[in-house]
Amino acid sequence: MSVVVCSDLDRTIIYSNASLGLGAPDAMLPRLLCVELYQAQPLSFMTEAAARALEALADAATFVPTTTRTPEQYARVHLLDKPSAYAICANGGHILMDGVDDADWAQGVRARAAETATALAEVGEHLASISGAFVLKRRTASDLFAYAVVDRAALPQGWVEDLTGWCAERGWRTSVQGRKVYCLPEGLTKAAAAAEVARRTGAGTMLAAGDSLLDIELLEAADASIRPAHGELHDTGWTSPSTAVTTARGIEAGEEILAWLLDRTAAAAPQRSFTEPSPEKKTNTSGSEVVHPAF
């Protein structure tokens, strides 16, 4: 296929109860499809219209779920009747092919992270030392990064900023997504794994979607991309000439994102190989769409 579509999952195309963002009266709300169960309870949803668009998108392009979830967390999500041939997990730390982890890729990622950043154990120890009652859980993921589940309302002023500065001095970065505060080595990116999948599939065009600071490299690497009008990127005002912004928020933004990706896939013609340099990309924005809603 000539087009590969790499999309973040949580708060981009799937939504938990806490992130639905539905403000209309109950009688006017869209029908929702549960796409994830956890401990036999419904956890994540998309609209039925979004699910139909995703099925059409997967038929027209190589659709690659691209997530910070671990492979185990990703396995709970059921997006398509036929699962995607490729998936990117742990923020690029794992590439799954037909559900099987590419061990060589994972080993290479770990080796590169070990060369460029402070050890995960030190980051975990620091998180423990600065935790208080506002930190509900601390976890490590795939032996690659750490995160804390926090009570956002109780976070001390400046806590995230201080953690961000400490991490930056040691080759790590932070991201706040919902109730989770992530600490990841700087070299661990979705974009690197997406480029590898594009190379393997021979894609000539890459499209992407995401909502967090961890998605910036992916969105910038794509030929065209889209982000929702909510989330970490929206809160910081981030955009780029090749990145569109939805007019909707919450789960309805997920529906808009998938419709946008489907439209761009249909319009895409065979272009350059994704692995070839494109010096024109930053200055030639024709064919891309940037929407600036007044929120």
pLDDT at 271 over 60: no
pTM equals: 0.86
Q: Which of 46-60, 107-121, 161-175, 237-251 has the lowest mean pLDDT?
A: 107-121
Longest dimension (CA), the chain: 55
Q: Which of 24-38, 65-79, 173-187 has the lowest mean pLDDT?
A: 24-38
DSSP secondary structure letter of residue 60? H
Task: Name every residue whose Cβ is closer than 8 Å to that of residue 152 and which is 6 or more positions away in sequence.
Answer: 179
Assigned token pair, 253? 């933004």
User: What pLDDT score does 285 carry?
Assistant: 37
**Contact criterion met (CB below 8 Å) for 109 and 152:** no
DSSP secondary structure letter of residue 10? B
- Percent of the chain scored above 90 by pLDDT? 82
